[in-house]
Amino acid sequence: MQEIRYHNRLFVGEGDFSFTCGYIEKHPEIASFITATEIYDETELNRRNLKGRVQALSNQGVKVFLEVDATKLHEIFRNEFFERIHWNLPWDGNPYHFQTLPNVMRKFFLSCSHLQRDGDRVHVTIPQPSRSGIWKYQQGYIIGIVEASVVAGYILVSKRFMKEDGYEGRYPFYETSHSYRNEVVESAEERSFEFIFQKHFNWTGTFDLHQAKLAYREVEAKIKTTLFHADEECWKEGCYFDIRTDSDSSEGYSEAEECDRSSEYYEEANSFSEGFSESEGYTGSFDYSDEEIFE
């Protein structure tokens, strides 16, 4: 029988740590492979009455760290690698119209790229309420998810339901909450999706819509769907993903995707990025480096 190897997972911005609890409730065998983090300190942890929950997670093998900035993961976990990095409902505490979160997301993805190899994945959960096209606005204007992922060399490969009215969710114990506000996120409870990005190539610099479309062209052909659009007239949503939702059991592992680094998996992962540097209009040169964007 082939030995199962589990991926190391890093959870950031955990809020009340209910996602970590829900994840290991479903996959208790993976607990020791999880590192769960939050940006607030121990004083805030105690104020939220979460010390007992964190201790219980630690007793099960989860490594818990506080005061972890999601944009500086490469500094905090220097020389470590995480095959899966999760951030549910990212927020920096500022009103959305300040437009600070898209920059935070760019820095987050670039930071992740230092901790991952080609084929590794970043999972980001975003509120996606269906009314009046708000889901586009969440992706493009509030989060800036297309630009943030592309400049760091990540390609969207899947989208899954996380929560929806009338649906208990992939992790029933999980209660949506933010790092900066200890309350349920109503828009996420209404409907939220987990976007799964795969690292394919080292692409750091400014965002260029034409180059991004070229990079996605081969992926679109493989999964037979249009991945993202750019609306220049409607609102300010900019670029947003439009991809079918995969039905998924949320298993923490599978033979090819979630377990050992099989040669079959890496051949498939690397095939996505073949030809990107040779694509028409893509030269691999950009206006500034990842060091400059972290300033």
pLDDT at 250 over 50: no
Flag whether 205 is in a domain.
yes
End-to-end Cα distance, the chain: 49
- Report the alpha-carbon distance of residue 289 to residue 244 in Å, rounded: 33
Q: Which of 62-71, 87-96, 178-187 is modeled with the greatest confidence? A: 62-71
Residue where the block lists tokens 């206006």: 287
Flag whether 1 is in a domain.
no
**What is the pLDDT averaged over residues 36-62?**
96
Q: Into how many domains does the chain fold? A: 1
Flag whether 3 is in a domain.
no
**Percent of the chain surpassing pLDDT 90:** 44
Flag whether 150 is in a domain.
yes
Segment among 2-6, 120-124, 287-291 with least mean pLDDT: 287-291
Model pLDDT, residue 206: 67
- Report the alpha-carbon distance of residue 24 to residue 232 in Å, rounded: 42
Segment among 11-25, 80-94, 158-172, 258-272 with least mean pLDDT: 258-272
Structural domain for 144, as ranges: 9-293
- 252: number of Cβ within 10 Å: 20
Flag whether 2 is in a domain.
no
Sheet bearing 154-164, strands edge to edge? 63-65, 34-37, 9-12, 84-88, 121-127, 191-199, 154-164
pLDDT at 9 over 90: yes
Q: What does residue 276 show for φ and ψ, rounded to 5 degrees? A: -60, -45
Flag whether 267 is in a domain.
yes
Flag whether 47 is in a domain.
yes
| Paired tokens of 44 | 């805030």
Q: What is the CATH number of the domain that holds 85?
A: 3.40.50.150
Model pLDDT, residue 216: 77
- Report the alpha-carbon distance of residue 69 to residue 101 in Å, rounded: 13
**What is the pLDDT averaged over residues 41-48?**
95
- Bridge partners of 229, per DSSP, are 240
pLDDT (tens digit per residue) in 194-235 = 999 999 876 656 677 777 777 777 666 665 555 677 765 544
